[in-house]
Structure 1
Amino acid sequence: MTDKRFDPKNADILMDQERRKTLQPEKIIDYLHVTKDDTVADLGAGPGLFTIPLAKRTEHDVYAVDIEPDMLERLKKNAEEEDIKNISLMKNDLENIQLADHSVSRVLNAFVIHEVESIDQAIDEMKRILTPGGYLLLMDWEAVASESGPPLEIRIPSEKMANMLQDHGFDTDMFRPGPEHYAIQAKKRENESIPLE
């Protein structure tokens, strides 16, 4: 449903200083416990607000997944400006991620889950690509009226999102980086595997 999708023409506001100050991406990604040995996927990477600091923490490639080629182009430019070379750009939607099963140990999904057609399918995909015991950090807008952000009617309440993640085999821990946002650190249960066809 394209009317739910953020317009890439407005990508500059995603990287502005005010937003960085509010979201504190370096502090937020601490919750993912990324080490130099982790392989990370940033799903809905946009122009790289979180991708670039993630790439600085690992020696492996960070998979920057976004459906919008314009966003990936901006991310490439932003990474080049900081001389970051360990980012792999992937044009993909979140319901069909072109990564192998159990191929990443960390997944970030920031401010895009409300845009997908099937949230269940997107969560299944995140679970599929994560190693058992791997971490997902999911952030989104709380379902409250605010001056910025997506329309209220497409926002997913934090409790509902936490319950969905638990239903899909994650142990969750929620925190609030600010009054308008929530973040859920979700650990894939060790015994959770992909069902055989």
Structure 2
Amino acid sequence: MNHMHHHNQLDQKFLTKIAILDSRQRQQLIAPEDLISQMPIQKNHTLLDVGAGSGFFTIPMAASTSGKVYAMDPDGRMLSVIADKAKEKGLTNIEPIQDYLEHLSISNNSVDFVMASLILHEVSSLPKALATLFAVLKPGGHLFCLEYEQDDLIIEGPPMAIRIGSAELEKALTLMGFDMVRKTKINDAIYTVLAVKKAQ
């Protein structure tokens, strides 16, 4: 009996998570379509959304290319939410990958653009995660990161201790062999970084 109750709580938590991920607030903060349209994505590009969640960025990414869009998330339920949204919109180019970033198994030098939205602060090792993304990107391919700034005045968002400040991320990307393209503040709490894997 107890077990059932626990399961229901889990489902409720999951549904709440989706609701939050999809909430209007996030839409107002950054309209995903607008953000994607500003990205260096071409019609035939292969894209990867790491920590795809409920498909906030995956769906507009899939609409912006005829190429394949990998949607990676460790939670299979999130991936089925994305599949439902894709079906609804008639998008057939999304390939789900149920895994953690650290175990990502996509061929090296095969992806043109990677979206890493609010995921890097959750990985066990930032250098390892960035090395994985660097490897799968084609030379000249771009990585776009969206993260919370490490600033004690900002309460919303993940705990301060696990946040990755923009200076730290910039340093880590540069060490990995990325070139910085641009850094943008979306609001007080959130910044974005666009980086490119140098063409050999």
TM-score surpassing 0.5?
yes
Distance 1:164 1:24 in 2: 28
Paired positions, count = 185
Q: Deviations over 1:65-87 (max 9, x none)?
A: 01111211111112222222110
- Aligned counterparts, 1:27-176, within 5 A: 27-144=34-151, 145-172=153-180, 173-176=182-185
Q: Which residues of structure 1 form unaligned runs of 5+?
A: 1-6, 192-197
CA contact (8 A) 2:156 2:189 kept: no
Q: Are residues 1:20 and 2:2 paired?
A: no
Partners of 2:46 and 2:139 lie apart in 1 by 13
Three-state SS of the structure 1 residue aligned to 2:25 is helix
The one of 175, 178, 181 aligned to 2:190: 181
Deviations 1:97-155 (A, max 9, x none): 11001111111100010000011110001000000011010111111243432111111
* Secondary structure at 1:153 match in 2: helix
CA-atom RMSD in angstroms: 1.3
Superposition misfits of 4+ residues, deviation over 4 angstroms: none
**What's the TM-score, normalizing by structure 1?**
0.89
Structure 1 residues 8 and 115: alpha-carbon distance in aligned structure 2, compared to 1, 3 A threshold: farther
Distance, in Å, in 2 between the alignment partners of 1:8 and 1:40 is 26
Q: Is the 8 A contact 2:47 2:114 kept in 1?
A: yes
C-alpha distance in 2 between matches for 1:8 and 1:140: 22
The aligned residue for residue 4 of structure 1 is: none
Deviation at 1:27, TM superposition (A): 2.1
Per the TM alignment, residue 17 of structure 1 is displaced from its structure 2 partner at its CA by 1.7
Tell me the CA shift for residue 16 of structure 1: 1.5
Structure 1 residue 32, shift from structure 2 partner? 2.6
> Could you tell me how far apart the structure 2 residues matched to 1:64 and 1:8 are?
18
Structure exhibiting the larger radius of gyration computed from Cα positions: 2
Q: Per chain length, whose mean CA-contact separation is higher, i.e. which structure has more relative contact order (CA < 8 Å, sep 6+)?
A: 1
* Structure-2 separation of matches of 1:73 and 1:149: 25
